[in-house]
Amino acid sequence: MNDSPSLTENPVSAQPDALPLGGLLALACAGFITILTEAMPAGLLPQMSEGLGVSPALAGQLVTVYALGSLLAAIPLTLLTRGWRRRPLLLLAIGGFALVNSMTALSSHYGLSLTARFFAGVFAGLLWALLAGYASRMVAPHLQGRAIAVAMVGAPLALSLGMPAGTFLGTTVGWRLSFAIMTGLTLVLLIWARLQLPDFAGERADKRLGLRQVLGLPGIRPVLWVTFTYVLAHNILYTYIAPLLAPAGIEADIDRVLLVFGLSALLGIWLVGLLIDRWLRPLVLISCSLFGLLALSLVFWIDSPTVIYSAVAVWGLAFGGLPALLQTALAKSAGESADAAQSMLVTVWNLGIAGGGLAGGLLLQSWGVVAFPWAVALLMLLALGKRP
C-alpha cells in the first residue's frame, strides 16, 4: 500500500449534484452485515448455548467480546493503515466478516467461537472507522452529509428488520446455517463493492496528524462528548427496555415496542438525509432536545402504555439520524484526518454502550426504572452544553 495519488478518479466529480447510490448502498450493506453479525447471537442465544455446550451467560459473552474487539482495535488499526489505499482496505475489512462468520458457523469449540467473535469486532472497528470518510470522499462537499446518511442506513435496518429476520431464520434452519448465509451475503457484497466503489489514496505521510493533534482540531472534542453522553443515555434505556416497560404492564409487548423504535428510526434517517447538509447543528440540537423531553415525559407517566409507545416513537425518530449527524460533523471538522477521527468515535460509541449497560444496571438495582428518565434527561443537558 502506498501514498501515491489515486489512480481512480471520483466518478461523481463531474456530476456534483448526483449521489453515487450504487457505491453508497454497498457501504450501507457493509454496515448492515456488521450490525447483524454483532447482534445475531443475542437473538439466537438459547440455540448457540446448546450448540456450543455452554450456559446462556457464557454464550452471551459472544456479544461482549465482539464489542471488546471493536473497542480495542478501532484507533490502533486505523492509525496503522492510514497510508493504505482505501478500497483494498475496505474490502479487507468486509472480507474479514466472511472469514469470521464461517468460523462461527463451523466451530463446535467455545474458545474458537470466542476468538472468531473477537476478530469480528476487530474488523467491525476498522470498517466503521472507514465508512463515513469513504462516503464523504465520493461526493461534492455540499452532499457529504446526505451521502453519509445513505451509507449509515444499514445499521437501523439491521436492528429493526434484520434482527427479527435473522432470529426467525436461526430458529427455522439453525444458527450455524444462519451464519453460513451471512458468509454468502458477505461474498456477494465483496464483488458488489469492488465494482461500485472508487479507490482513493491513503493519507500522505507528511500530512498525517498525531492522535493528540486530531483530538485538538476545532470541533472534534464537542462531537465526541455528545457521542458519549447520547449513546450512554440511549443504552441505559435500550439495554433495559424490558424492565422499563414493566410499570405500564406491557413487558410482553417488547417486540412490538422495538418495532416502533426501528420504524421511527428509519423515518429519522430519512428526514436527516433530506436536511443534514443545510441544518447540521440545528438537527443535533433537535435530536438531543427531543430525547431529553421524552425522558421527562416518562418521569411523570412511566406507567402509561400510550405515553410509553409515544415516547419510544419519538426516541427512534431522534436517535435514527444521530450516527449520520455525528459522523458528518466529525468528518467536516477533521478534514483529511477524518478516518482517524472516526476511529475515535467508534471507540467512544462502544464506551457509551458499555457504560450504558453498567450505569443502567446500577440504577436499576439501586432505585429501579424510575431513575432511568432522570439519568437520560441529565445526560441530554450535558450533551446540549457542548453540542457540535
What confidence tens digit (pLDDT) does each residue in 183-218 have? 999 999 999 999 999 999 877 776 777 778 888 899
Q: What would the mean pLDDT of 266-281 be, rounded to a whole number?
A: 90
Mean pLDDT (the chain, rounded): 86
Task: Please give the pLDDT value at position 14.
Answer: 40
Quick one: 258 and 284 in the same domain? yes
Report pLDDT digits (tens) over 283-337: 999 999 999 999 999 999 999 999 999 999 999 999 988 988 998 898 888 877 8
Task: Please give the pLDDT value at position 10.
Answer: 45
Give the number of other Cβ atoms within 10 Å of residue 364's Cβ: 18
Quick one: 226 and 175 in the same domain? no
Quick one: 137 and 170 in the same domain? yes
Q: Does residue 89 fall inside a structural domain?
A: yes
Task: Please give the pLDDT value at position 387.
Answer: 54
With a cut of 50, say whether residue 11 has pLDDT above it.
Answer: no
With a cut of 60, say whether residue 16 has pLDDT above it.
Answer: no
Q: Output the domain CATH number for residue 101.
A: 1.20.1250.20
Quick one: 300 and 230 in the same domain? yes
Report pLDDT digits (tens) over 73-131: 888 998 899 889 999 999 999 999 999 999 999 999 999 999 999 999 999 999 988 99
Report pLDDT digits (tens) over 20-42: 999 999 999 999 999 888 878 87
Task: Please give the pLDDT value at position 13.
Answer: 41
Task: Please give the pLDDT value at position 8.
Answer: 40
Q: Does residue 10 fall inside a structural domain?
A: no
Q: How far apart are CA 49 and CA 64, in angstroms?
A: 15
In the numeric block, which cell numbers belong to residue 42?
443475542
Overall domain count for the chain: 2
Q: How far apart are CA 163 and CA 182, in angstroms?
A: 12
Task: Please give the pLDDT value at position 181.
Answer: 92
H-assigned helices in the chain: 21-43, 45-52, 56-80, 86-106, 110-137, 144-151, 154-157, 163-173, 175-196, 211-215, 220-239, 241-245, 254-275, 280-301, 305-320, 322-334, 338-366, 371-384
Quick one: 367 and 281 in the same domain? yes
How does 338-354 read in b/e, with b if 16+ C-beta sit within 10 Å?
A: bbbbbbbbbbbbbbbbb
Domain boundary among 146, 174, 206: 206
With a cut of 90, say whether residue 158 has pLDDT above it.
Answer: no
Rounded to two decimals, the pTM is 0.81
Structural domain harbouring 189? 21-206
Q: Does residue 92 fall inside a structural domain?
A: yes
Q: How far apart are CA 78 and CA 312, in angstroms?
A: 35
